[in-house]
Structure 1
Amino acid sequence: MKRSDVLIIGAGPTGLVLALWLSKLGIKVRILDKTATSGTTSRALAVQARTLELYRQLGLTDAIVNNGHKMPAVNLWVRGKQAARVPFEAIGKDLTPYSFLEIFPQDQHERLLIERLQAFGVSVERQTELKTFVDNGTHLTAVLSGANGHEETCEAFYLAGCDGARSTVRKTLEVGFTGGTYQQVFYVADVEAEGQAVNGELHVDLDDADFLAVFPMAGNGRARLIGTVRDNRAEQADTLQFEDVSSRAIEHLKVKVNKVNWFSTYHVHHRVAAHFRRGRVFLLGDAAHVHSPAGGQGMNTGIGDAINLAWKLAVVLKGNASDNLLDTYETERIGFARQLVATTDRVFSFATADGPIANLVRTRVAPLLIPSVMALDGVREWLFRTVSQITLNYRGMPLSSGGAGDVHGGDRLPWAWDGDHDNFDSLANACWQIHVYGIAHEGLVSWCALRGLPLYVFDWKPVHQAAGLTRNAFYLLRPDTYVALVEASDDASVLDRYFAERKIQPRML
């Protein structure tokens, strides 16, 4: 009987990132998928700034940035005219090393993850399907079915359901998946095109025509069109071709399509699972939450799930924490998923709602308000922080404690770069670590040396104050780079209390 530490069901980006993170930390995994090959087409395009920050731990960031397309701005159109342009680079240049939206299609993304995973000696087991599983309390027993119908029984300490919106894992657990389905039928088309809206930036039509977004892709004139089909043609969604799609919105954005490389239609759901953990089983990605494509959040949120869970599984499996640590996965991720579904639902409903009032708001009110609102620095920064996911935090949750200045336990560590030193460089190490900006007190230095925890001390500079950091305070960082504890005093004993209360041993992973 094959045994592993973690059995991962589903080899999309979420499952692959989980497998890669765990493998890097020395955890034995199996990852399987019922498909014969990885995807050759994709709907997910956007890799947000926060994902690129976290990917530094896996050595993936440079490969994605160098092989994708940096999208510097989003443009909103109404009645065939550009109503507003929001440049990401100008807004985010002091907030993150990645002040842009990276376009890197999911099929390329998956191939990169699979390649890196193979370097750890782990391959995706294709045409292999989970049939049943039993949680025995101390481990799991699962029955798998291979390509030839041969059944295999295997064991694992934990099981991760990364198997999509129709998750077998979630259905087996009988976990609720409340929400609904948007009535609109969506289409997605990869095209070769030209025109004002094919300039390397994102363009969105807010009009009484069908909703349309034009995403740039790497390569001259390549673009991804995502739109809706609202009229009675939606009833024949399965047989629709690109030629059947309304051209009104395409004409409004002044796009001339020269060639269609790929076309598909689909429905979009908005749902969140009632629980993300049951015993030794976890739900991640689309198995736990699905929502509209507004803001390019879906794939990034699933990757965030994987990184949040991976280090906790590694700590527990290595005996450095009790199983209770794993409860914080649901606590930290389910609230964000619910908020995300609600937010994207509101945005999407505004952009696609039918009716005279909705059309009036989009075509008359929005053109007057959007340019004025987007001209405000605070609004532009809020929008960038939200879409890029750098504002996501775990404040007030069990693993978060303390605060000083603008930074509290549970926050993403603010980025600070003075032209020579980047405080994110040390975050490539997936471990507990401590940062001090200013002077590290002797007691803290001794505490870190005794326990073998890395201590990084940065000379205090104006960029640290501008980022919201506090001089001489110390910041305990989790292995996933979020701030666990902030302490403004020189009392290192708060670290002992922090770990003791949570039954965690602060050891290197």
Structure 2
Amino acid sequence: MSKPVLVVGAGPVGLTMAAELARYRVPVRLIETLPARTDQSRALAVWSRTLELLDAAGCADAFVATGLHASTLGIHSGRQRLARVTFKGIASSFRYLLIIAQSETERLLEEHFLTLGGTIERTTELTGFVDTGEGVTCTLTHAGGESEHVDAGWLIGCDGAHSFVRRRLGLGFEGDTLPTGFIIADTRVAGLALPPDELAIFWHHDGAVMFFPISPGRYRIIADIGAAPPPAMDLGVVQAIVDRRGPGGVSLSDPLWLSHFGVNERKVRTYRAGRVFLAGDAAHIHSPAGGQGMNTGMQDAFNLAWKLALVVRGEARPDLLDSYSAERSTVAQQVLNDSGRITRVVLLKNRLARLVRCLVVRGLFRIPMVPRAIANRLAGTRVGYAHSPLNAGCATGLRGPRPGQRFWADHPLGRGDAPRFTLAATDTPDVRVIIARHAALLNPAPCPPPDKNGIWLVRPDGYVAAAARSADWLVIDAALARIAASPPVPERI
């Protein structure tokens, strides 16, 4: 039996990581210091790309049935709508933003993990670890104070912005803190003349106020408040801001959560140190603008889990794991850049800058491709790994995605208990030769290619690892050989 992978933190990222490893039949232990999952709404947004990956994991249906399907984002100034972004043009089978409380996300992921035979070891804290090169010797402290020593094969820190794993590794969390704070309220809203599935941003010279529907009649409200938090945080403070910055006639009641927060924009340079990895907020934090944080972290987990599973199962070389940091660090930097830009545009205070902002937004968003491009960027369907060390070949002259790009939206990712690559190619004897030669890595049947003149090697997470013209099987063979743990079965190609 392999040494277990120890996952630290049972938030959405840690639960996703542990569930994917369990799905791939990798021994895993999931520990959490808290006695129970959160009962707060916290992160609300689950975007299309995350839903696609949850669908491949076999649990998207429960999410889709539980959450609210938001279809549009409106940008307003007072009672005037400046622009509208519809999510119906997202290039995915999930053409909406799923609004679901983090408490529900954790519940659904926990139930999924339990069906895979997993357990969450709560009130258990990681208090020390040493990477021996052959494994990670970890010290756990349980609720009663007793210690346990665990000989783990790998350690994954999904333990949040104040990550013990990151601090113990001595990795810098580089970045800045924005000079302004925000208030947040989950409350009942009456008098808001908007479709119930629309997100809305209202700009005002004092700042912005944003409404995000959670359930019928209930919204999350976020507004910037400057550098100093309010002396007393109550619903009256939020109501006064809504009265001043919103469309008018809106009344708030029955708050479930009132708080204020600051925004940090920070990231580690590398997500891996030997046999120890970081994922989610332990590796990157940024503005909540665009609802990217939890999605980026969960996609970290999906990215690492299939690679680690192949290595633990002895089916791939250990250096496959080097691609995790290379790929996900680049994505996090792009998210930091995008969310930072959105936040700074929303927080403009200069009168001339605000006037220009309104004119530019009103003009640009009338061009159909602009709101469509923004919707797909937010949805994560344009996330890619253009510079991944796993990429090989090219799709020049072919109708289809390039190496590092996501394969088509409806690609039937495998739901099996082993992470497998898929060949997208016309079924020919050559295809069968390659499948037999790399049986440990490939699904036993190909899927239809986007262009009959090409071959695509699709990773377990749905991104293209290699592309070539139909006769150029050496490209595909070499790409698989670089990953395989042992030489492929000798066979003439």
Calculate the TM-score normalised by the size of structure 1.
0.89
Give the residue type in structure 1 aligned to 2:247. L
Q: Amino acid of the residue matched to residue 493 of structure 1?
A: L
What residue number does 2:258 align with?
Answer: 263
The answer to whether the 8 A contact 2:427-2:446 is kept is no
Gaps of 5+ in 1: 416-422, 461-468
**2:466 is the alignment partner of 1:476:** no
Corresponding residue number in structure 2 for 1:411: 405
Q: Is the 8 A contact 1:433 1:455 kept in 2?
A: no
State the shift of 1:56 in Å: 1.1
Distance in 2 (CA, whole Å) between partners of 1:389 and 1:504 is: 31
Q: Deviations over 1:373-422 (max 9, x none)?
A: 1121221222122101111111232111122235111110022xxxxxxx
Contact 1:198-1:216 within 8 A present in 2 as well: no
Which of 337, 347, 353 aligns to 1:361? It is 353
Secondary structure of the 1:8 match is: strand
Quote the offset at 1:246 in angstroms.
6.3
1:434 aligns with 2:422: yes
* Deviation of the 1:199 alpha carbon: 2.2
Alpha-carbon spacing, 1:348–1:73, altered in 2? closer, same or farther (3 Å): same
Deviation at residue 489 of structure 1 after TM alignment: 2.5
Aligned-partner Cα distance in 2 for 1:321–1:3: 15
Q: Who is 1:455 aligned against? A: 445
Match of 2:294 among 289, 293, 299: 299
Tell me if the contact between 2:45 and 2:100 (Cα under 8 Å) persists in the aligned partners: yes
Hey, what does 2:38 align to over in structure 1? Answer: 39
Which residue type is aligned with residue 408 of structure 1?
R
Equivalent residue in structure 1 for 2:199, among 193, 197, 202: 202
Q: Distance in 2 between matches of 1:137 and 1:261?
A: 48
Q: Deviations over 1:313-348 (max 9, x none)?
A: 111111112221111110111111112112211110
Range with bigger deviation, 98-107 or 283-292: 98-107
> Kindly tell me: are residues 122 and 457 of structure 1, through their superposed partners in 2, closer, same or farther at Cα, counting changes over 3 Å?
closer
Q: Does the C-alpha gap of structure 1 residues 41 and 3 become closer, same or farther in structure 2, counting only changes over 3 Å?
A: farther
Structure 1 residues 250 and 139 mapped into 2: Cα distance closer, same or farther (>3 Å)?
farther
Give the secondary-structure state (helix, strand or coil) at the position aligned to 1:319.
coil
* Partner SS state of residue 52, structure 1: helix
Is 472-481 or 303-312 further displaced after alignment? 472-481
- What is the rounded CA distance, in whole Å, between the counterparts of 1:171 and 1:450 in structure 2? 44
Q: Is the 8 A contact 2:424 2:458 kept in 1?
A: no
User: Which stretches in structure 2 are left out of the alignment for 5+ residues?
Assistant: 489-493
Measured after TM superposition, the shift of residue 111 of structure 1 is: 0.5
Q: Distance in 2 between matches of 1:428 and 1:123?
A: 21
1:281 lines up with 2:262 in the alignment: no
- Using the TM superposition, give the Cα deviation of residue 174 of structure 1 relative to its aligned residue in structure 2, in angstroms: 0.4
Aligned amino acid, residue 369 of structure 2: G
Match of 1:391 in 2: 382
Counterpart secondary structure, 2:314: coil
Counterpart amino acid of residue 210 in structure 1: G
- Alignment root-mean-square deviation, CA: 2.1
Is contact 2:422–2:446 with CA below 8 Å preserved after alignment? yes
1:489 matched to 2:470? The reply is yes
Residue matched to 1:465: none
1:13-162 equivalences in 2 (<5 Å)? 13-89=12-88, 91-92=89-90, 95-162=91-158
2: CA distance between counterparts of 1:434 and 1:7?
29
- Which residue of 300, 303, 306 maps to 1:308? 303
For residues 163-186 of structure 1, give each alpha carbon's deviation from its aligned partner in whole angstroms, at most 9, with x where no partner exists: 000000000000000111122222
**TM-aligned CA deviation for residue 47 of structure 1:** 0.4
The secondary structure found in structure 2 opposite 1:292 is coil
Residue 203 of structure 1: CA displacement? 0.2
Bigger mean CA deviation after superposition, 294-303 or 447-456: 447-456
Assess if the C-alpha contact under 8 Å between 1:41 and 1:106 holds in 2.
yes
TM-fit CA distance, 1:433: 3.6
Deviation at 1:288, TM superposition (A): 0.1
* Partner residue, 2:432: 445
The question of whether the paired residues in 2 share the 8 Å contact of 1:142 and 1:154 is answered with yes
> 1:434 and 1:274, CA in 2 relative to 1: closer, same or farther beyond 3 A?
closer
Q: Which moved more, 1:256-265 or 1:475-484?
A: 256-265
Deviation digits for residues 451-471 of structure 1 (CA, Å, limit 9, x no counterpart) = 44333343x8xxxxxxxx323
Which runs of 4 or more aligned residues in structure 1 lie more than 4 Å from their structure 2 counterparts after TM superposition?
A: 503-507
**Structure 1 partner of 2:491:** none
C-alpha contact 1:161 1:282 (8 A) present in aligned 2 = yes
Q: Distance in 2 between matches of 1:244 and 1:118?
A: 42
Per-residue deviation, 1:482? 1.1
Shift of 1:198: 6.3
SS at match of 2:84: strand
User: Residues 225 and 118 from structure 1, CA distance in 2 versus in 1: closer, same or farther, beyond 3 angstroms?
Assistant: same
CA offsets 1:93-139 (integer angstroms, 9 cap, x no match): xx210111111111100011111111122221111111110011101
Question: Which of 367, 371, 375 is the matching residue for 1:376?
Answer: 367
Report the CA distance shift for 1:505/1:376 in structure 2 as closer, same or farther (over 3 A). Answer: farther
Aligned-residue offset at 1:434: 3.0
The separation in 2 between residues aligned to 1:266 and 1:493, in whole angstroms, is 54
Q: What secondary structure does 1:343 align onto?
A: helix
Mapped partners of 2:423, 2:94: distance in 1 = 22
Alignment counterpart, residue 183 of structure 1, candidates 153, 156, 179: 179
Cα separation, 2, equivalents of 1:391 and 1:75: 22
SS at match of 1:334: helix
Tell me the SS of whatever aligns to 1:425: coil
1:240 aligns with 2:228: no
Q: Deviations over 1:50-78 (max 9, x none)?
A: 00111112112111111101100000011
Match of 1:401 among 392, 403, 406: 392
Deviation at 1:440, TM superposition (A): 3.1
Distance 1:198 1:381 in 2: 20
Distance (Å, rounded) in 1 between the aligned partners of 2:247 and 2:103: 27
Alignment of 1:161-180 (within 5 A): 161-180=157-176
Give the secondary-structure state (helix, strand or coil) at the position aligned to 1:431.
Answer: coil
Amino acid at match of 1:204: I
Q: How far apart, CA to CA, are the structure 2 residues paired with 1:133 and 1:493?
A: 43
Q: Counterparts of 1:156 and 1:316 in 2: how far apart (Å)?
A: 15
Residues 229-288 of structure 1: CA deviation (Å, up to 9, x unaligned):
2265x164xx52232346244552333213212212222211001221001100100000
Quick one: distance in 1 between partners of 2:345 and 2:485? 46
Specify which of 321, 329, 333 is matched with residue 316 of structure 2.
321
